[in-house]
Structure 1
């Protein structure tokens, strides 16, 4: 382009181009100010709700800012007469390609967003989810970290957790501890239950309400089975579980109960020797 062409462009379209340039600059300044204002208000709303994790809030603010800036750039290009239809189609195609390639990661991310909002569990809760049982140590956007009872750090994808049943053992004040005690046929179950009630109630961290359940569970050839079910907070579950078994052994030993034995009629026949 020579000097004559430049002068001709200035004399014929210079005013129109100048107006468009000023309009674009003004749109960029005002648009950026409005985007900053909108993202700031969004951040305050998320912080005020206190149900959204700070990490998720930052991600949402960042994604919103990027999307609004893309819209602003497309609007400014349209001011100069640049056709943005093909550009928008290109962005949509790229988004579909990325989504197909990262479908698993995006699924985990989407599930993480929902769990950050719905909060089925929080850090410190003891849960069973995605086939793993343990204490939640971290609730991330893509995965949840659990410490299993045998002290192993296990990371489970949020998509697997959100697509399956979630059991939160820490959601309620108390949890039932299930134990079984077997007595001989010669022992009166009512006497055994009466002896167990004060012994189980005296175990540390067993709550008074609801009271422990001690009832006949079933009958076996060796003798009746008793269900012994105290209640405690989930943080004391294993302590109460093991102490309950000790209380059963001590109570039945002090009472002189015989050890349940399989009746002769139910014993397997001895193996014949050659």
Structure 2
């Protein structure tokens, strides 16, 4: 009798283990195939949207939303295959969603802000901006945060809420940008000749625009002498090249023309009794 019970128990365990093993194997197959189908569907969606010539920002955002939705449906389908009631699971998600929503209020606000960034379009992927206190090139506008690469090539993720709640400067919105520089002259220097020389030399730098023309004017005076405001214009892509070339040209051209070096001097008067 005892042997019969043991054999029966072993048979039940083997049957149950086999059934569970097959279901786990099937779930793995469903997951792999489902993920492949999701990727295939996303590729079709992306190609279809690209044919409509939509902005890359919208393409990435729509792709992210569709990907998350399809993956959730895939998980629910696999759980249903295991016999878990999806209606109960959906109710559980809805109930948990309230608690999660309260705990993840920041993430949800970032998501909502991301939607507004897409709709209002203060910038797009590839623009050079200052947003959320970070200056750089926008590489991605995600569901919860946007990725900005700073000029020193550091990837910085900024929450969409911070971006939308802060001042946004889009340097790529205009076809050109002004480069603001200063040039210190000696007090004895001929300032008019220096301004004429700098307009000519800086205007010949590659990628400096002729319209608007280079601006060179007296900005202020200090103890050394007059300070010139030197302002060439260029495309945003050439900003740093024009910035550094202008500084180099100012130094070389003024030195070659024989202008005195701007050196701070202080006169001392000594009296003897």
Under a length normalisation based on structure 1, what TM-score does the superposition of the two structures give? 0.66
Output the CA distance in 2 between the equivalents of 1:238 and 1:105: 36
Counterpart residue number, 2:117: 115
Counterpart residue number, 1:227: 229
Q: Which one of 48, 54, 72 corresponds to residue 50 of structure 1?
A: 54
Q: Which one of 173, 180, 183 corresponds to residue 182 of structure 2?
A: 180
Check the 8 A contact 2:177/2:239 in 1, yes or no: yes
Return the offset for 1:138. 1.2
Q: 1:238 to 1:59 in 2, by over 3 A?
A: closer
Q: 1:253 to 1:63 in 2, by over 3 A?
A: closer
Return the offset for 1:59. 6.3
| Structure whose CA Rg is larger | 1
Counterpart residue number, 2:132: 130
Q: What runs of 5+ residues in structure 2 fail to find an aligned partner?
A: 1-44, 71-90, 269-273
Tell me the alpha carbon deviations over residues 107-141 of structure 1, each in whole angstroms, 9 at most, x when there is no partner.
Answer: 11111111112221111111111111111111112
Tell me the alpha carbon deviations over residues 174-229 of structure 1, each in whole angstroms, 9 at most, x when there is no partner.
Answer: 00001110111111211100111110110000011111110000001100000100
Q: 1:62 to 1:134 in 2, by over 3 A?
A: closer
Output the CA distance in 2 between the equivalents of 1:147 and 1:60: 23
Counterpart residue number, 1:154: 156
Q: What runs of 5+ residues in structure 1 fail to find an aligned partner?
A: 1-42, 66-88, 267-274
Output the CA distance in 2 between the equivalents of 1:64 and 1:153: 27
Under a length normalisation based on structure 2, what TM-score does the superposition of the two structures give? 0.66
Q: CA RMSD in A?
A: 3.0
> Number of aligned pairs?
204
Alignment of 1:22-171 (within 5 A): 50=54, 53-57=58-62, 94-171=96-173
Counterpart residue number, 1:190: 192
Output the CA distance in 2 between the equivalents of 1:213 and 1:187: 19
Counterpart residue number, 1:80: none
Tell me the alpha carbon deviations over residues 127-165 of structure 1, each in whole angstroms, 9 at most, x when there is no partner.
Answer: 111111111111112111111111111111111111101
Output the CA distance in 1 between the equivalents of 2:165 and 2:114: 11
SS at match of 1:53: helix
Q: 1:228 to 1:50 in 2, by over 3 A?
A: same
